[in-house]
A and B are shown apart, each in its own frame.
Chain A
Amino acid sequence: MGKTLAEKIWDEHVVRSHEGEPDLLYIDLHLIHEVTSPQAFDGLRIAGRTVRRPDLTLATEDHNIPTTDLDKPIADLVSRTQVETLRRNCEEFGVRLHPMGDIDQGIVHVVGPQLGLTQPGMTIVCGDSHTSTHGAFGSIAFGIGTSEVEHVLATQSLSQAKPKMMAVEVVGELPVGSTAKDLILSLITQETTGGGQGYIVEYRGEAIRKLSMEARMTICNMSIEWGAKAGLIAPDQTTYDYLEGRPNAPQGADWDAAVAYWDSLVTDDDAEFDKVITIDASTITPFVTWGTNPGQGVPLSGNVPDPASFEDDNERIAAENALRYMGLEAGTPMRDIKVDTVFIGSCTNGRIEDLRVAAKLIEGHKVAADTRILVVPGSVRVRLQAEQEGLDVIFKDAGAEWRGAGCSMCLGMNPDQLTPGERSASTSNRNFEGRQGKGGRTHLVSPDVAVATGILGHLAGPADLAELEKAGA
């Protein structure tokens, strides 16, 4: 019997396999940041151990750092301590670091791909659940805890039980106005937050093949939001075109050898998945969340659901709690929900393509009164690229705020936070209670919906903007 793509990569990385024990997997790339690494380095120090392969390790500062006043020291003392601790640890253990102010600084999951360090057929880990992003290149990439960070630092390997294999077959084509974000949000609502648990998911099919690398990253990024261990997409010409010429991509004879290997990274025709889900992309419309987990979503054209409509007791109670927290009433059309803040950024939607889409939509419009739009590029290079293309001017002319690079309001560890009761439309990945600031209320959306919402002041999609333009003309 043939193998799935993930099985091929897995098997190629087994250092040691023993009956009754998890496989010991070799790790090709270990990404670290300031939040989940300090205690891991502490552990090494206590045990008198070193970093086995600093040359397969890369650090960046992202979770805590401010997106304004970048020339001043970090005001929050605890944030500053974490960042300074990372700098000391990288210095002591010889790890390459892209700190604030460095041209390659940014969100760890934006930086890896843009440097060309993320390549097909690799195993990639990071102490961050959105590491699944890198699966877009046809690699096995997943988030790990701090003890595992310590383990990888010390041994460049990780003990892992082999997950089950799932295929998500996306047939058909995404309609105009629907995006990869709408597709993954729809999938998560359909499968619930636990639906992918125990699986590595391969996203396949016509609609996936047509997606850009950025859009593939958006899909794989949110694999963890439906519980999957990892999500990946087989590499193809789109992948190679993205990688070629990047600073850490293979060159010359190495490039040819790499491509020859990457071409083998497909699921065999006779491979069997443990589970297969099929989605018709042509049915996908702009999709938004109404609740406090990413599986509580509806089409933008829908209404806030009635908790009584959920048959499962736990889901019904979760819906009741969510509506109370979100300050929403069942039956309210999603388009009637007024939004205070729009956040465009994060490792889900903070790449150049996302900013291009957003800028194109916002051009010629003004941000609604009583609404603010924050645009936070995923990395310094994304910011510079956007500025070179004049996107920053378009955003500023429309009344949006143009910020420095980082995780920012995705998780509210830096000063970019919602105040209690404040409502956001966010291109990030999590709408958990308090995620974007204590008492903050988050609706997850695509960059397209984010822009339309910011202009109209309530949840809206690109079609509503077109209406507005027609009425204006």
Chain B
Amino acid sequence: MEKFSSHTGVGAPLRRSNVDTDQIIPAVWLKKVTRDGFEEGLFSAWRSDPSFVLNQDAYKNATVLVAGPDFGTGSSREHAVWALQNYGFKVVISPRFGDIFRGNSGKAGLLAAQVDDKVVQRLWDYLDANPGATITIDLESRTVKAGDGVDAIEDSFTIDDYTRWRLLEGLDDVGITLSHEDDIVTYEKSRPSFKPATL
């Protein structure tokens, strides 16, 4: 996993709340058995609409998605994170994330930055007024910045300490756990015999 310290990229305003993972990547796309190629299915129901934000030239190379509250609710499909990453997104900003989606994001290296409602509103207004403008997300200082001068937006975002550390270090989950294999072995010795087994 790549280390993440800070990122500056084109912001795309997704003026919708409750964007569930079925909208991010419909179930029909879950049939693939590889980890790449999901970008084509990203927001697929909306992509046929020419006015959809990602169909506009200014946002073609967007890497920072600014969405309404409850982004990534619903199905546990991690494909939603892969689809966003395959498309090129590095960061999603929202006032509130679905729990499973937020967990999946941290593990795959997509930064889910939780900000205040008002910050999303200001970012939306800023991006609409300045299509193609960039947003900077600094994971070290947990800040999001956009614009210059008196109207500049600078605020903090929330991310739990552990996920932040892992993203900063670019650490793989399984490797971290296997470094504590002794603890797992010890635990297994204490499991009662009535616990079920499949084999």
Partner of B96, one of A197, A255, A261: A197
When chains A and B are docked, how far (Å) is the Cα of A471 from the Cα of B188?
Answer: 65
With known contacts A129-B74, A433-B22, A145–B103 Cβ distance under 8 A:
yes
The A-contacting residues of B in range 73-116, CB under 8 angstroms, are: 73-79, 81, 96, 98-100, 103-104, 107-108
When chains A and B are docked, how far (Å) is the Cα of A156 from the Cα of B28?
Answer: 30
With known contacts A15-B183, A24-B183, A129–B194 Cβ distance under 8 A:
no
Partner of B103, one of A21, A148, A293: A148
Binary B-proximity of A165-200 (CB < 8 A = 1, otherwise 0): 000000000000000000000000000011001100
When chains A and B are docked, how far (Å) is the Cα of A39 from the Cα of B83?
Answer: 14
**Which of chain B's residues has its CB closest to A31's CB?**
B198
Partner of B104, one of A38, A42, A145, A159: A145
Partner of A430, one of B74, B77, B186, B198: B74
When chains A and B are docked, how far (Å) is the Cα of A20 from the Cα of B162?
Answer: 7
Assess whether B69 is in contact with A248, with CB atoms less than 8 Å apart. no
* Interface segment, one of A116-124, A232-240, A269-277: A116-124
**Which of chain B's residues has its CB closest to A22's CB?**
B162
B34 at interface, CB cutoff 8 A: yes
When chains A and B are docked, how far (Å) is the Cα of A20 from the Cα of B164?
Answer: 11
When chains A and B are docked, how far (Å) is the Cα of A148 from the Cα of B103?
Answer: 9
When chains A and B are docked, how far (Å) is the Cα of A54 from the Cα of B70?
Answer: 36
Partner of A49, one of B32, B108, B174, B187: B174
B197 at interface, CB cutoff 8 A: yes
A203 at interface, CB cutoff 8 A: no
With known contacts A155-B184, A229-B99, A413-B27, A147–B34 Cβ distance under 8 A:
no
When chains A and B are docked, how far (Å) is the Cα of A116 from the Cα of B161?
Answer: 39
The A-contacting residues of B in range 157-182, CB under 8 angstroms, are: 160-162, 173-174, 176-178, 180-181
With known contacts A42-B34, A54-B199, A15–B184 Cβ distance under 8 A:
yes
Binary A-proximity of B116-157 (CB < 8 A = 1, otherwise 0): 000000000000000000000000000000000000000000
**Which of chain A's residues has its CB closest to B173's CB?**
A151
Q: Which residues of B contact A438 (CB under 8 A)?
A: 26, 45
A82 at interface, CB cutoff 8 A: yes
The B-contacting residues of A in range 293-328, CB under 8 angstroms, are: 293, 314, 317-318
Q: Which residues of A contact B196 (CB under 8 A)?
A: 28-29, 116-117, 119, 122, 248-250
With known contacts A261-B192, A413-B28, A145–B78 Cβ distance under 8 A:
yes
The A-contacting residues of B in range 10-37, CB under 8 angstroms, are: 17-18, 20, 22-23, 26-28, 30-35
A242 at interface, CB cutoff 8 A: no
Assess whether B193 is in contact with A254, with CB atoms less than 8 Å apart. yes
A60 CB, min distance to chain B CBs, angstroms: 11
Partner of A82, one of B33, B79, B195: B33
A47 at interface, CB cutoff 8 A: yes
When chains A and B are docked, how far (Å) is the Cα of A52 from the Cα of B35?
Answer: 23
B1 CB, min distance to chain A CBs, angstroms: 10
The B-contacting residues of A in range 426-461, CB under 8 angstroms, are: 430, 432-435, 438
With known contacts A154-B178, A248-B196, A128–B76 Cβ distance under 8 A:
yes
Partner of B178, one of A21, A155, A412: A155
Assess whether A147 is in contact with B108, with CB atoms less than 8 Å apart. yes
When chains A and B are docked, how far (Å) is the Cα of A293 from the Cα of B22?
Answer: 11
Give the number of chain A interface residues (Cβ < 8 Å): 82
Query: How many interface residues does chain B have, given as a range?
Result: 35 or more
Q: Which residues of A contact B99 (CB under 8 A)?
A: 197-198, 227, 229
Binary B-proximity of A75-86 (CB < 8 A = 1, otherwise 0): 010110110010
A64 at interface, CB cutoff 8 A: yes
The B-contacting residues of A in range 81-128, CB under 8 angstroms, are: 81-82, 85, 94, 96, 116-117, 119, 122, 127-128
Q: Which residues of B contact A261 (CB under 8 A)?
A: 192, 194
When chains A and B are docked, how far (Å) is the Cα of A418 from the Cα of B182?
Answer: 51
A67 at interface, CB cutoff 8 A: no
A266 at interface, CB cutoff 8 A: no
B95 CB, min distance to chain A CBs, angstroms: 9
When chains A and B are docked, how far (Å) is the Cα of A117 from the Cα of B31?
Answer: 27
Assess whether A432 is in contact with B23, with CB atoms less than 8 Å apart. yes
Assess whether B183 is in contact with A16, with CB atoms less than 8 Å apart. yes
When chains A and B are docked, how far (Å) is the Cα of A313 from the Cα of B193?
Answer: 55
B126 CB, min distance to chain A CBs, angstroms: 19
With known contacts A16-B180, A193-B73, A78–B100 Cβ distance under 8 A:
no
Assess whether B17 is in contact with A314, with CB atoms less than 8 Å apart. yes
When chains A and B are docked, how far (Å) is the Cα of A293 from the Cα of B18?
Answer: 8
A384 at interface, CB cutoff 8 A: no
Partner of B174, one of A21, A38, A129, A155: A155
When chains A and B are docked, how far (Å) is the Cα of A146 from the Cα of B192?
Answer: 29
Q: Which residues of B contact A198 (CB under 8 A)?
A: 99
19 A-B residue pairs with Cβ-Cβ distance under 8 Å, sorted by A, are A15-B180, A15-B184, A20-B161, A26-B187, A42-B35, A52-B184, A94-B199, A116-B196, A127-B78, A129-B76, A148-B103, A151-B177, A155-B184, A159-B173, A193-B70, A197-B96, A412-B27, A413-B30, A432-B20
Using a CB–CB cutoff of 8 Å, the interface residues on chain A facing chain B are 15-16, 20-22, 24, 26, 28-29, 35-36, 38-39, 42-43, 47, 49, 52, 54-58, 63-64, 76, 78-79, 81-82, 85, 94, 96, 116-117, 119, 122, 127-129, 143-148, 150-151, 154-157, 159, 161, 193-194, 197-198, 224, 227, 229, 248-250, 254-255, 257-258, 261, 293, 314, 317-318, 411-413, 430, 432-435, 438
Supplied contacts A16-B180, A127-B78, A430-B74, 14 more A-B pairs, CB within 8 Å: A21-B162, A26-B184, A29-B196, A54-B199, A117-B198, A143-B76, A144-B76, A145-B107, A155-B174, A224-B74, A314-B68, A318-B17, A433-B22, A434-B26
